[in-house]
């Protein structure tokens, strides 16, 4: 996933309402009405949030009759995991180098002064 796509994912998750929708969808598909129920906002506002989530690649929707149902897109979440793991590996490498430097410093003989 490129930087622009990852930016859209993080932007989509930056809003508490959208984050709540993702939480709900992680338990299974839901209609717009079901996603709107716990929120204190009008359906057009909910739809705007869902469009941001869809643009971020976090959800996809399908319409059957008059009901639009949303599902989570696990690939977007996997991309976040990959991004985090790369950062974690870089930090771990830095801490490993620091630990080695401190161990090397402790192993050096000390000069004593009188």
Would residue 25 count as lying in a domain?
yes
List, in order, residues 6 or more apart from 8 with CB less than 8 Å away: 55, 56, 57
Torsion 8-9-12-16 (CA) sign: negative
**Distance of alpha carbon 91 from alpha carbon 17, whole angstroms:** 31
- The tokens for 100 are 């080695």
pLDDT band at 100 (very low <50, low <70, confident <90, very high): confident
User: Which has more confidence, 48 or 99?
Assistant: 48
- Domain assignment present for residue 107? The answer is no
If one counts the domains in the chain, the total is 1
Domain membership of residue 29 (yes or no) is yes
Using CA atoms in the order 27, 29, 33, 38, what is the torsion angle rounded to 10 degrees?
10
Tell me the residue range of the domain where 29 lies. 3-73
Beta-bridge partner residues of 71: 60
pLDDT of residue 114: 63
Confidence of residue 44 (pLDDT cuts 50, 70, 90): very high
Residue 27 lies in a domain: yes
């Amino acid at each position: 996933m490129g930087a622009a796509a990852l930016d859209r994912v993080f932007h989509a998750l930056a809003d508490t309402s959208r984050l709540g929708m993702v939480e709900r969808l992680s338990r299974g598909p839901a209609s717009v009405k079901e996603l709107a129920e716990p929120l204190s906002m009008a359906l057009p506002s909910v739809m705007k949030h869902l469009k941001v989530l869809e643009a971020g690649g976090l959800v996809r929707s399908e319409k059957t009759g008059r009901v639009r149902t949303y599902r989570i897109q696990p690939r977007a979440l996997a991309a976040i995991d990959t991004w985090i793991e790369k950062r974690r590996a870089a930090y771990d490498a830095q801490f490993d180098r620091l630990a080695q430097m401190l161990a090397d410093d402790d192993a050096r003989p000390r000069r004593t002064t009188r």
